[in-house]
A and B are shown apart, each in its own frame.
Chain A
Amino acid sequence: MSEMGTVSRRSFLRAGALAGGGLMLTAAIPMVARAAVGGGDAASGTLSAFVTIAPDGLITITGKNPEIGQGIKTMLPMLIADELDADWDRIKIVQADTDAARYGPQIAGGSFATPMNWIPMRQVGAAARQMLVAAAAAKWGVDAASLKTSKGVITNPANGQTLGYGEVASAAALLPAPDPKALVLKDPKDFTIIGRAIGGIDSPRIVHGEPIFGVDTLLPGMVYAAYDRAPVFGAKFVSADLDAAKAMPGVIDAFVLKGTGQADELVDGVAVIAKNWWLAQQARAKLNTQWDNGEWASHSTKGYDETARALMAGGKSEETFRTDGDVDAAFASAAKVVDAEYHYPFLAHVPMEPMNCTSLCHPDGAMEMWAPTQNPQPGQAGVAKMLGLSPDKVKVHITRLGGGFGRRLTNDFMYQSAAIAAKMPGTPVQMIWSREDDVRTDFYRPAGWHRLRAALDAKGKVIGFDDHFITFDIGGGSYNPAAMGPDIFPAGHVPNLRYAQSKMKTAVPMGALRAPGSNGLAFVTQSFLDEVAEAAGTDLPTLVMALVEGAQKEPDTKGFAGTTVGFTPDRLRGVTKKAVEISGWGKKKLPKGHAMGFGYYYSHQGYFAEVVEASIENQRPVVHNVWAAGDVGRHIINPFGALNQVNGAIIDGIGQAMALAIEIEGGAVKQSNFHDYPLPRMPVTPQIHVEWVPTDHDPTGLGEPALPPVIPALVNALHKLTGKRIRSLPIRPEDLA
């Protein structure tokens, strides 16, 4: 397959000289971009990278995307450096500010960055190398094709002469940038940096406690803000005792901000400003803020559950969004019907660094912000709109993020920070949320309910499949985290299939959580298919393989992340076979009281099949081993980062299944901190065995696809131990009795 085929013909590169001598290379690759994660509107964007080579040979690469722990600040420069034949130890990586015109999409989400940047970043490196070699060839009067490069040095094999990149960088800067179409990218066997386990570029600073995260921002004269918001979603501000707060020690000011009514913008609240944040919080406690809770105070998880159960039992849906064949006829003729109701709860993101943002309103009204955000460009645009500024008057520095998981795709904290700072021109203000603020003011993984039915013929073949999905009506917007796509497995692999949905009203804000959609749907569909497999007298891996028997690869599509390779049944087969093989599925003799469960899922262009070995101790699940087989294409760019993502995603999924739920009571979130939202801790950690199944496709991202299958794999293992199906998360002690 030709790698050049995926690059736009309009690609171009620009070269220029550095002020102090040396080469600066800018790549701008126009591409079709979508507005946000899973967004719909096509718009053109530009993708840029910047490489500078100083006369002393130091190479500086601009990292354009936010670093949330996914390793992008290390990984994208690796792509450039490999094609450039740079010395990795002589590379400096700097973080770009927010600038859509200059950098194109700057988003940490959707596991997009790898597929989006795989070719363009390598082209930047190849172009720089070609220019440096051309400059050396001119200097020596030899044919450029005869020269070799390695670790930042150009060698003429004919006579052993060498030149460092820095020595020819200034001359190279005078050459025209090559046409990307004419660039020859490396044969993968010649990669020296891609495929190498390289540690995080910022890690040395982190182990020494250097300031690097958003909340570490320190500015001269900075003060601190707490923001008191309504516990009930959608509530409006009524009154607060500002004088009581202002009378507290160290308090500088307290004032009310009126919001737009949109949870993802500015919400009503009271800002308390003090010389340190602890004093601000002490004063906040004196506000006695009163709210008008309106219609939403009656809402509860219990109420949603009752409504959803009634809708599922009623069988009548509002809307059918996929119909294949004749579903009713299939069920009428079925030898056996499996019928079950599944449910998953609301979840919070709780990144370790609580929401925060630092803002400074300059004398001319321009806003300067230091924001730990996964999605800086909409934050910049939204703040500009709120303040009536042009976007160029809102400068947003992208800090490192202490975790994202999708929470920081929504920039409500940026609106709050900017609105507070706008009231205090000339004074930098750092707004920080408490953990309680964070747990109770999230954009939650939507809860969902599914009534699933499967029809089997006399031979155990699945001839009908029906899902009535109960979700929420969460209004407009380009991305709906509470939606289920029509292509969710096993759609396309069962002749008679219906996907239908009904929606409930709510004011609970919702958003994308790591592996959005898939994190709930994998549990539902793969656990239910395990029931179907049992009814058919087989096991889940066998059933999954049988479902795709004879299936053809689906067509590729062009999208936000460049080319998306259509669902490829061979890749499902590959990871399923591998997971079965490495786990010893069905063959290995397990200790007494242990059992294995299987789960498969395809999401974010990655294929994962996982096997969990679990037991039950004191009515709690214990996970001993997880075997994961993953196919994300032909290369693992950075094995260090890749394995960290897979290990983390697996424990994340296990943690969700074991203990996590956000419950609504009286229109507000009941949970508040890590005692009642108990994230997995070290003793939960199983042995995780990861095996890659490389296939001949461009590499794709690993932030998400390893998470979804571990949840059904776990509950399917527990079913083998108890004989009881777990159809609602999180797992309760009574499920294991």
Chain B
Amino acid sequence: MARTVTINGKPREVDVPDEMPLLWVLRNELHMVGTKFGCGKALCGACTVQVDGVATRSCVTPVGSLEGKQVTTIEGLADEPVGKALQDAWLEHDVMQCGYCQAGQLMNASALLKRNPEPDERQVEAAMSGNICRCACYGRIKTAIAVASAVAKKEQADV
């Protein structure tokens, strides 16, 4: 059925079944391919987006559940200061190898810093453990989150 989904602040029209996962709506219908397919079962986190600011696995999120909600994808991450800070830290510390999982890592890290601007190492590990990096860039992901955390803390102070 035809519906409107709000993605990165813009309403988008799609005509798909209610139960179709957001991931495939993004990738195949809207041609927004930054959000990645990894497992289809919410096991790897490659498809992580944010729904109303909360990290969400788009591969198991029916598009019918998104009425009135705000979806943020990797293509919209730079619009937020913390998102931008994470992207900069990712580049500064040359986090990635193949890079395929990194959209999901960034979206999850940004959701973490939104709810907890100064996570300790254990909190970072707990929050990020749903995101697999097959190249195992975990050490640098932790470092980059710590760097971006400073910006998140300042953001929170400014609010």
Contacts and interface: CB of A to CB of B under 8 A. Distances in A.
Interface of A: 68-71, 197, 199-200, 202-204, 206-213, 215-216, 218, 224, 249, 275-279, 350-354, 400-405, 432, 434-435, 640-641, 644-645, 647-648, 650-652, 655, 673-675, 679-685, 688
Nearest to B124: A682
Name the residue among B16, B17, B35, B139 with the largest chain A CB count within 10 angstroms: B139
A405 B137 CA distance: 15
A207 B97 contact: no
Nearest to A433: B37
Given A209-B103, A211-B33, A682-B129, 12 more contacts: A203-B94, A203-B99, A208-B87, A218-B31, A276-B16, A278-B20, A352-B101, A400-B98, A403-B97, A404-B98, A679-B134, A682-B125
Interface in B3-33: 16-17, 20-21, 24, 27-29, 31-33
B99 A202 contact: yes
**Which of B34, B36, B128, B135 lies at the interface centre, i.e. has the most chain A CB atoms within 10 A of its CB?**
B135
A216 B125 CA distance: 29
Contacts of A434: 40
B91 interface: yes
Chain A CB count within 10 A is highest, among B39, B90, B124, B131, for: B39
A211 B135 CA distance: 20
A278 B43 CA distance: 18
B94 A353 contact: no
Contact of A224 (B28, B32, B124, B125): B28
B98 A401 contact: yes
A206 B102 contact: yes
Interface string B119-154: 000001110111111111111111000000000000
Interface in B84-123: 87, 90-92, 94-103, 106
Interface in B35-60: 35-41, 43-44, 46
A640 B96 CA distance: 10
Contact of A210 (B20, B34, B129): B34
B112 to A, nearest CB: 12
A648 B135 contact: yes
Given A644-B97, A682-B125, A204 B41 contact: no
Contact of A207 (B37, B90, B134, B136): B90
A650 B137 CA distance: 11
Contact of A208 (B36, B74, B134): B74
Of A208, A211, A352, A645, the most chain B CB neighbours within 10 A belong to A352
Interface residues of B, number: 60
A683 B43 CA distance: 16
Closest 9 CB pairs of A and B: A209-B34, A402-B100, A69-B98, A209-B74, A69-B97, A276-B28, A651-B136, A278-B24, A674-B43
B125 A683 contact: yes
A404 B46 CA distance: 16
Given A215-B33, A276-B28, A640 B136 contact: no
A344 to B, nearest CB: 20
A69 B131 CA distance: 18
A209 B36 CA distance: 9
16 contacts: A69-B96, A207-B91, A211-B33, A352-B98, A403-B97, A435-B40, A435-B41, A640-B94, A644-B94, A644-B97, A648-B97, A651-B136, A673-B41, A681-B131, A682-B131, A684-B138
A423 B13 CA distance: 32
A203 B98 contact: no
A693 to B, nearest CB: 21
Given A401-B98, A405-B134, A278 B41 contact: no
B136 A680 contact: yes
B59 to A, nearest CB: 10
A78 to B, nearest CB: 13
Contacts of A652: 136
A536 to B, nearest CB: 35
B134 A351 contact: yes
A644 B137 contact: yes
Contacts of A207: 74, 77, 87, 90-91, 102, 106
A199 B36 CA distance: 22
A519 to B, nearest CB: 15
Given A69-B96, A70-B97, A402-B100, A644 B28 contact: no
B152 to A, nearest CB: 17
Nearest to A430: B28
B159 to A, nearest CB: 25
A468 to B, nearest CB: 34
B129 A683 contact: yes
Contacts of A651: 136, 138
B21 A685 contact: no
Residue from B27, B43, B98, B130 having most chain A Cβ neighbours under 10 A:
B98
A354 B139 CA distance: 24
Contacts of A68: 98
A208 B97 contact: no
A651 B131 CA distance: 15
Contacts of B37: 215, 354, 432
Given A402-B100, A405-B134, A674 B39 contact: yes
Nearest to A208: B78
A249 B17 contact: yes
